Structure 1
Amino acid sequence: DIVVFNYPVNDKGRIGFKMNYVYVKRVVALPGDTISFVHSRPVNSHYEGVLGLAEAQRGLEETPDSLIPWYAMRNILVETAVLGYTIKEIPPVYVPRRGDILRMDDWRKAEIYRRAIEWETGRALAWDGERGQCLSDGRPLPYYRFRKNYYFVCGDMAYGSKDSRYWGFVPEEYIVGVVDRVVESHHPVTGRERRERRGLNLTNNE
């Protein structure tokens, strides 16, 4: 589904609600799914079909890395390039589901789930490299049970779309609704109104 949602990251880089700051993206992973990107293509653990526009994904894969700005290429899931992932290749990432327990046994998990866990607990999350353990307000956090459902969303523009590949998960309560039909459409290059797209059903209900 294509959904409308409130952009989940505030000016401090944390999950925080911003009134009337909405995005429209395609859901590529639901709570409890695992999402990865292989050769620029999203791969969902529970879905075998194509997610998004295959043509755009092929275009991204064929674009040399040198032509993509470094921040757009490597600042994946978090604000820096610390994970070492790229927009073309992202290892499997679990999308949190309410009630599921995650073992916090790796510094990458602390980075990937920091925003969600800090939002839910109101406590600072950190990784103690010397002891090899995750800390919540200085206390060991070997496991974490998620309190909320989250979604992973992507724009159909495989490159140039500000989406979950860069800032992570969308909390369920930030989703306003599902886009049902096209009301008005304009060509992205010429600006010409595409009347043939009026009323186009964007769900699988018909």
Structure 2
Amino acid sequence: MGFEFFKKKEDVKKGPVREWVDAIVFAVIAATLIRWAFMEAFTIPTPSMENSLLVGDFLFVSKINYGPRTPKTPLQIPLTHAKIWGTDAPSYSDAIQLPQFRFPGFGSVERNDVVVFNYPPEFEHPVDLKTHYIKRCVAISGDTLEVRDSQVYINGEKGENPENMQFGYQIATDQAINERVFKKNGVWDVREVNGGYFVHARPEDAKKFESLDFVKEVVRFKEPESYINHRIFPDATMFPWNADFFGPLVIPAEGMTIKIDSLTLAKYGSTIRDYEGLENVSTADGKLVIDGKELNEYTFQQNYYFMMGDNRHNSEDSRFWGFVPEDHVVGEASFIWLSIDPNESFLGKIRWSRLFNGID
């Protein structure tokens, strides 16, 4: 009498459909994990970082440099952002919102890093699904920032200027300038105006136009110190600043305590109200009231940063909408993997010289 102690289970062969489904599921999970924890691809849609980054640059952003954030909005279609591809339909549900934490990274945000972050004043989406912006960090938490005659100063010292920083220039001429002439001289951001052209260019590139016979003069644009830009952060009625003459302003740091009065609330009231994770906050009448209790001082709960575009006269940045909270920081721009010129024909669209360039 024989006994069969073990019976080998026969392998069930997967059909082609099952194999495809398994492969797709695995690929989506792997891509989602890589995108969340290590690296994510972005494209440059606007000229605010020219000439450092050009419209049509495709770049990879490192999540591990500053540490990846845990998802705040878990109910989301994988590999989407706020909307389903090609539609205005939301790709997520905010029925569940989790506390957000950041894993340790290789370092923290430093001055002159090129940083991708969620656009702070976009309040219609959760933090992790706000629109992505890319700017250069010019001041970190605890710094005192000032802009004098377009030059950034940090803690009283002249800040480091990006190599490809641009400003606005008026090119006075009564003749049409061919687009090829602008590109030949390193100018991409051009607008025709009465009496010539308004361009955004590096100082050395703008100077090249002075030698052209048909150019009368090249004048750098500057907002006069006396000019009050009413769109400027934090409050033009109390701080009569503009994009070229701004500050001084202290960047909030975790653990920094401020006395509460009408002046400090004008500077920091919206930051406390909108980004510190508090509820029932009032900053009316020069008073800070949280959960019905009036406070005479306040201690910040996280670090903040001040971001500016390298294209200094064509950038919506912290000068206009304020600080970037640490929990809005996505990652550091690493390198360009593809660059496509939207204004060129099919054969000339790829900017070969920019491929795999690092970002400084």
TM-score by length of 1: 0.77
Match of 2:288 in 1: 135
- Give CA deviations for 1:150-185 in whole Å, capped at 9, x if unaligned: 111011111121111111011111111000112223
Q: Is 1:10 aligned to residue 167 of structure 2? A: no
- Give CA deviations for 1:11-54 in whole Å, capped at 9, x if unaligned: 57xx9626151011100111111111111222112864423467
Pick aligned residue for 2:267 from 86, 89, 112: 112
User: Once superposed, what is the RMSD of the aligned Cα atoms?
Assistant: 3.2
- Relative to structure 1, the CA distance from residue 164 to residue 142 in structure 2 (aligned partners, 3 Å threshold; closer, same or farther) is same
- Give CA deviations for 1:121-168 in whole Å, capped at 9, x if unaligned: 32333253xxxx533256543211000111110111111211111110
Pick aligned residue for 1:124 from 273, 277, 281: 281
**2-structure distance, mates of 1:49, 1:41:** 8
Q: Is 1:38 aligned to residue 192 of structure 2? A: no
- Classify the secondary structure of the residue corresponding to 2:147: strand
CA contact (8 A) 1:40 1:58 kept: no
Single out whichever of 40-49 and 27-36 deviates more from structure 2: 40-49
**1-structure distance, mates of 2:343, 2:220:** 22
CA contact (8 A) 2:167 2:221 kept: no
**Percent identity of paired positions between Structure 1 and Structure 2:** 28
**2-structure distance, mates of 1:38, 1:93:** 12
Q: 4+ runs of 1 displaced by more than 6 Å?
A: none
Single out whichever of 38-47 and 181-190 deviates more from structure 2: 181-190
Pick aligned residue for 1:90 from 235, 238, 246: 246
CA contact (8 A) 1:117 1:125 kept: no
Match of 1:198 in 2: 355
Single out whichever of 46-55 and 165-174 deviates more from structure 2: 46-55
Single out whichever of 191-200 and 161-170 deviates more from structure 2: 191-200
- Give CA deviations for 1:78-118 in whole Å, capped at 9, x if unaligned: 4x63232111111211111111111223x332122122211
**1-structure distance, mates of 2:266, 2:318:** 14
| 2:272 partner letter | I
- Classify the secondary structure of the residue corresponding to 2:339: coil
**2-structure distance, mates of 1:136, 1:52:** 41
- Relative to structure 1, the CA distance from residue 64 to residue 5 in structure 2 (aligned partners, 3 Å threshold; closer, same or farther) is closer
Q: Relative contact order: is structure 1 or structure 2 higher (C-alpha 8 Å, sep ≥ 6)? A: 1
Match of 1:184 in 2: 338
- Relative to structure 1, the CA distance from residue 58 to residue 104 in structure 2 (aligned partners, 3 Å threshold; closer, same or farther) is farther
Q: Mapping of 1:21-60 within 5 angstroms?
A: 21-45=131-155, 48-52=158-162, 56-57=166-167, 59=169
CA contact (8 A) 1:33 1:46 kept: no
Structure exhibiting the larger radius of gyration computed from Cα positions:
2
| 1:91 partner letter | G
**1-structure distance, mates of 2:147, 2:133:** 22
Match of 2:221 in 1: 63
Pick aligned residue for 1:75 from 231, 239, 252: 231
Gaps of 5+ in 1: none
- Classify the secondary structure of the residue corresponding to 2:264: helix
**2-structure distance, mates of 1:94, 1:22:** 25
Single out whichever of 29-38 and 135-144 deviates more from structure 2: 135-144
Residue-pair matches, total: 191
**2-structure distance, mates of 1:10, 1:147:** 21
CA contact (8 A) 2:340 2:351 kept: yes
Pick aligned residue for 2:309 from 147, 155, 158: 155
How far apart are residue 56 of structure 1 and its match? Answer: 2.2
